[in-house]
Amino acid sequence: MGMATDRPRVLSGIQPTAGSFHLGNYLGAVRQWVALQESHDAFYMVVDLHAITVPQDPKELRANTRLAAAQLLAAGLDPERCTLFVQSHVPEHAQLGWVMNCLTGFGEASRMTQFKDKSAKQGSDRATVGLFTYPILQVADILLYQANEVPVGEDQRQHIELTRDLAERFNGRYGQTFTVPKPHIIKETAKIFDLQDPTAKMSKSTANPKGLVNLLDEPKVTVKKVKSAVTDTDTEIRFDAEAKPGVSNLLTIYSTLTGTGIPELEQKYAGKGYGALKTDLAEVMAEFVTPFRTRTQEYLDDPETLDSILAKGAEKARAVAAETLATTYERIGFLPAKH
Ligand code: TYM
């Protein structure tokens, strides 16, 4: 379907809601996106339709959508190697989303844990129906592109399982139509933890901003956050996610950003204490975020180029999405529109 390519296809998305990406977004997902564009036919998008499941200021949403695209490019996505686009530029997402809504059981949707968490925080009167059907739109995102794999963090696993279920259900009812995708989740970095509460996932909605590393923070703010990360009462630098979640999280971050194995790091810091580890990791982090910030700003300073990258991406994405949607409509039994 769509572009002629022998490569397996990947698709993923990120919300433009928070402004800056955080370290969990990068290590859990975006870093894999960059790697996969070399070996896969890769589609990546900024999911603005998902963003409006919670209230958004129009000006901020527009700015944050460009900012998200700029950060993806700064992280290493190359529009020559992947298709980068904005979800609302491809109307087929909402169209297939409706079809998928009609295939999902109410109880099935009610079991989505992210909805339960988010709606519990907002109160059931303030949570929208859009937030409830959010995972079903995500199903449509993935199935439209016949994606083989979906690179995400651990928190998205249940949504990929729903995608598999709905793809199989549709195929069973109407004949083979959709590729059944697999999650692409890297165990080591699937869940990056909050620096202040290392038993909680790093998240933009954290109660304590000191635990959240935003990639666009001033590097000196990042350095401070790393240096004040919560560890534990003994001083031994050893990876043990259960007994020593704080140190283990720091080791994961350090190891991934530098390509140094965890055993090697354990050896390097044997007998040195947490201070030395944090000081060095703070430096590693500063070296990572400083050029990232500069590159993001360069893309933002040239919105015409940025918008034209997104326009080309949308055009490539639509070619694939339109074909899948047409097949889907035909299978369902919609009367073809005569032009
Ligand atoms: P979003 O915008 O919340 O997060 C983007 C990606 O970052 C990952 N992530 C993490 N990984 C490791 N540790 C963490 N602490 C951490 N926090 C976030 C997420 O798992 C995600 O991969 N529903 C999706 C967006 C979406 C999507 C899609 C993804 C919409 N349509 C289709 C894949 C395919 C979301 O809200 O991601």
Pairing of strands 182-184, 41-46: unpaired
Q: Flag the least confident range among 62-76, 118-132, 295-309.
A: 118-132
pLDDT average, residue stretch 183-209:
96
Residue 3 has pLDDT above 60, yes or no: no
Tell me the average pLDDT across 87-97: 98
Report the pLDDT averaged over residues 243-248. Answer: 96
Band of residue 5 on the pLDDT scale cut at 50, 70, 90:
confident
How many angstroms separate the Cα of 70 from the Cα of each of 170, 275, 317? 36, 34, 18
Could you tell me the distance, in angstroms and rounded to a whole number, from the CA of residue 191 to the centre of ligand 1? 11
In the predicted model, what is the mean pLDDT of residues 157-165? 98
Quick check: CB of 191 below 6 Å from ligand 1?
yes
Determine the pLDDT at residue 139: 98
pLDDT of residue 1: 43
Residue 160 has pLDDT above 90, yes or no: yes
* Burial readout 110-125 (b: 16 or more C-beta within 10 A, e: otherwise): eebeebeebbeeeeee
For ligand 1, atom 29, which residue shows the shortest CA distance?
13
- The mean pLDDT value for 266-280 works out to 95
Taking residues 102-127, report their average pLDDT.
Answer: 89
The predicted pLDDT at position 41 comes to 98
Q: Please name the residues in contact with 37: beta carbons below 8 A apart, sequence gap of 6 or more.
A: 77, 78, 81, 82
| C-alpha 193 to ligand 1 mean position (Å) | 14
Among protein residues, the one with the nearest Cα to ligand 1's atom 31 is 138
State the DSSP H helix or E strand holding residue 83, giving kind and residue range, or none if neither.
strand 82-86
**What are the pLDDT digits (tens) for 163-195?**
999 999 999 999 999 999 999 999 999 999 999
How many angstroms separate the CA atoms of 77 and 67, rounded? 14
- Residue 69 CA to residue 53 CA, distance in Å, equals 20
In sequence order, the β-bridge partners of residue 46 are 14, 86
Q: Output the CA torsion sign for 63, 64, 65, 68.
A: positive
- The closest-lying atom of ligand 1 relative to the alpha carbon of residue 134 is 23
- What atom in ligand 1 is closest to the CA of residue 159? 23
Distance (Å, whole) CA 19 – CA 215: 10
Closest CA to ligand 1's atom 19: 153
Ligand 1 pocket test, pick from 15, 22, 25 with the greatest ligand atom count within 8 Å of Cβ, gives 25
Instruction: For residue 178, give the amino acid letter.
Output: F
**Chain centre distance of CA 61:** 17
Residues 117-133: tens digit of each pLDDT? 888 888 878 899 999 99
* Strand (E) or helix (H) holding 42: strand 41-46
Catalytic residue IDs: 118, 201, 204
Question: Confidence class of residue 4 from pLDDT cuts 50, 70 and 90?
Answer: low
In percent, the amount of the chain with pLDDT more than 90 equals 91
Q: Cα dist. 166→53, 101, 277, 308, 332 in Å?
A: 21, 10, 46, 34, 14
Average pLDDT over all residues of the chain: 96
Lowest-pLDDT choice from 90-99, 116-125, 205-214: 116-125
**Which residue out of 155, 215, 249 has the highest number of ligand 1 atoms within 8 Å of its CB and is therefore the one to mutate?**
155
pLDDT single digits (tens) 39-67: 999 999 999 999 999 999 999 999 999 99
